Amino acid sequence: MPSQPLLQALVPCPTGPLQVPLEGPPQSAGRGEAGVGLGRDRPLDLSLVIPTYNEAANVAVLVEQLTQLLEGVMPHRYELILVDDDSPDRTWKTALGLTPTYPQLRVMRRRTERGLSSAVIRGWQVARGQILAVIDADLQHPPQVLTDLLAAMHQGADLAVASRHVTGGGVSDWNLARRLLSRGAQTLGLLLLPQVVGRVSDPMSGYFMVQRRAIAGPILNPKGYKILLEVLGRGKVHTIAEVGYVFQERQQGASKVTWRQYVDYMHHLLRLRLGGRISQVHQRFPLKRFVRFGLVGLSGVVVDMAMLYLLHGSLGLPLTRSKIVAAEVAIINNFIWNDAWTFADVSLQQRGWSARLKRFLKFNLICLAGLVLNVLVLNGVYNLVFGQRWAYLANLIAIAVVTFWNFWLNLKLSWRVTQIK
C-alpha cells in the first residue's frame, strides 16, 4: 500500500459533468500541485494531459523527454497531468515516484471512471494552463512536435492538430488492414458528420492542443478514443492549424484499441449527428473549386462518350468492356485536370511522382465507388421514386449526387496525401 504522503500527492479526481472551466483552478499550495515553490501565482501557458492505461514502462522516458523539451521552450509555465485509470501495472504509482524530480508533473488516479476520452477531459478540468493539450504516453506521438503545435497556438490558432495526413505526416509501421480501418472510419465520419470530421485531415488524431476558451463551457460527452471529435463537434473552434508528424512504433506495452473502440466511434458519431448541439462554425463551401470540379467532370463525360463511340461504335468491341475502358480513361482525364487546375494549390505542395500516384489511386477509388453509387441512385430514383419513368432525369439526379460525393471525398481525402518521411 503506497505511503500516506504519496497518496496525498495524487490530484483529486473531479466528478460530475465533463465540463472544462473557463478559468483554471487557483494555484494551490497543496502537495502534488504543479508549480509548488515555483512562483505558483503565475498562470501557466500549457497543460499537457497524458492519459495512461498500463504505461508504467513508458512514463519515465516520456516525462523526461517532455521536461527536456518544454523546459527549453517555456520554463515553469507548463504542467504535465498524467491521468491513469487505476492501471493493473500501477502506472500512477510509477508516475508519483517521478514527481519529486519533476515538480511540474501531477498525477491523477481514477478508480471509478474509465476511458481515454473522459480521462483527457478530467485532466483538463484540473488544468491551469490557457492551452490544453493531449499526448499519448507510449512515445508514438513524437514530443518534438509540441514546439510546432505551440508555435501555431501562439500565432492564434484555436486548435492545433498533429496530423498523419498532411505533408510530413505518416505512420511508421501500420499494416494495410489498420490503414484501411483508419481511413474507412474517417470516410464514414466524412459522410455522417462532414462539418465536424471534414474540418481536419486527421480527425482520429489523439495528439493536439486547444485554447481553453474554445472548449470551456459545453458539457462534453465523448465516447471511446476520439476526443478530437468532441472538441470539433462541441467546441468553439474557428482557426485550425495542422502539423505533420509520423506516428511512431510503440516501444513498450500494447495498444488498447480493440473492435470496441470502433463501435464507440460509430456510437459517438451518431450521438453527435443526432444529438445536435454541434457548434455551428461556418466554413465557406469551396464554391470556386466545386465549379471547376464540375467543369472537369463535364469534360470527362465528353471523353467517356468519345471513347465509347471509338471502341464500341467504330471498332465494334463489346459494350461493357468498352464502357469500362471509357470510364477509366475519363477518370484519368478528370484526375489530370483536377490535379493541375481544381486542386493545383494543394498538389503543388505535394510534388513528386509517389505523391501524385497516391492522389491518383485515391481519386480512382473514390470515383469507382462513385460509379457504384451512381448505379444505385439511378435505379433507386428510377424504380422507387419515378415509378420506372423519366430514366434520363433519374440519371441526371444520380450524376448530381455522385458529383457531390466525388468532390467532397476527393477534397478531404485525395488532395491530402499521407507522406511517409
Residues engaged in binding Mn ion (CB under 5 A): 138, 140
Work out whether strand 129-134 and strand 44-52 pair parallel, antiparallel, or are unpaired.
parallel
Toward ligand GDD, which CB reaches closer, 68 or 255? 255
At its nearest, how many Å lie between ligand GDD and the CB of residue 247? 6
Q: Which residues pair with 132 in a beta bridge?
A: 47, 210
Toward ligand GDD, which CB reaches closer, 203 or 235? 203
At its nearest, how many Å lie between Mn ion and the CB of residue 52? 11
Q: CA-CA-CA-CA torsion for 337, 340, 341, 344, nearest 10 degrees?
A: 140
Toward ligand GDD, which CB reaches closer, 135 or 398? 135
At its nearest, how many Å lie between ligand GDD and the CB of residue 174? 10
123 binds, among ligand GDD, Mn ion, none (CB under 5 to 8 A by kind): none
Q: Find all residues with CB under 8 Å of 210, minimum gap 6, and list them.
A: 131, 132, 133, 158, 159, 160, 231, 235, 237
114 binds, among ligand GDD, Mn ion, none (CB under 5 to 8 A by kind): ligand GDD
Q: Residue 259: left if φ>0, alpha if ψ -120 to 50, beta else—which one?
A: alpha
Toward ligand GDD, which CB reaches closer, 250 or 273? 250
At its nearest, how many Å lie between Mn ion and the CB of residue 85? 15
Number of neighbouring beta carbons within 10 Å of residue 239: 15
Residue the block writes with cell 472538441: 231
The CA-atom distances, in angstroms, between 207 and each of 6, 48, 52, 240, 246 are: 30, 10, 14, 14, 12
Toward Mn ion, which CB reaches closer, 206 or 235? 206
Toward ligand GDD, which CB reaches closer, 401 or 417? 417
281 binds, among Mn ion, ligand GDD, none (CB under 5 to 8 A by kind): none
Tell me if 50 sits within 8 A of 153, measured CB to CB.
no
Q: Which of 19, 413, 416, 420 is nearest to 184 (CA)?
A: 413
Residue the block writes with cell 464502357: 323
Query: Residue 212: phi, psi to the nearest 5?
Result: -55, -40
Toward ligand GDD, which CB reaches closer, 122 or 292? 122
52 binds, among ligand GDD, Mn ion, none (CB under 5 to 8 A by kind): ligand GDD
Residue nearest to ligand GDD according to CB distances in the complex: 206
Residue the block writes with cell 498500463: 54
At its nearest, how many Å lie between ligand GDD and the CB of residue 420? 15
**Distance between CA 352 and CA 41 in Å, rounded?**
52
53 binds, among Mn ion, ligand GDD, none (CB under 5 to 8 A by kind): ligand GDD
At its nearest, how many Å lie between Mn ion and the CB of residue 284? 36
83 binds, among ligand GDD, Mn ion, none (CB under 5 to 8 A by kind): ligand GDD
The three-class DSSP label of residue 313 is helix
At its nearest, how many Å lie between Mn ion and the CB of residue 257? 8
Number of neighbouring beta carbons within 10 Å of residue 218: 18
Q: Which residues bind ligand GDD (CB under 6 A)?
A: 51-53, 55, 83-85, 114-116, 119, 136-138, 140, 204-207, 225, 247, 255-257
68 binds, among Mn ion, ligand GDD, none (CB under 5 to 8 A by kind): none
Toward ligand GDD, which CB reaches closer, 33 or 202? 202
**Distance between CA 53 and CA 55 in Å, rounded?**
6
All three cell numbers of 240, joined, read 485550425
Toward ligand GDD, which CB reaches closer, 252 or 299? 252
At its nearest, how many Å lie between Mn ion and the CB of residue 137? 8
Per DSSP, 10 falls in state B
Q: Which of 233, 287, 238 is nearest to 265 (CA)?
A: 233
At its nearest, how many Å lie between ligand GDD and the CB of residue 167? 17
Per DSSP, 325 falls in state H
47 binds, among ligand GDD, Mn ion, none (CB under 5 to 8 A by kind): none
Number of neighbouring beta carbons within 10 Å of residue 266: 15
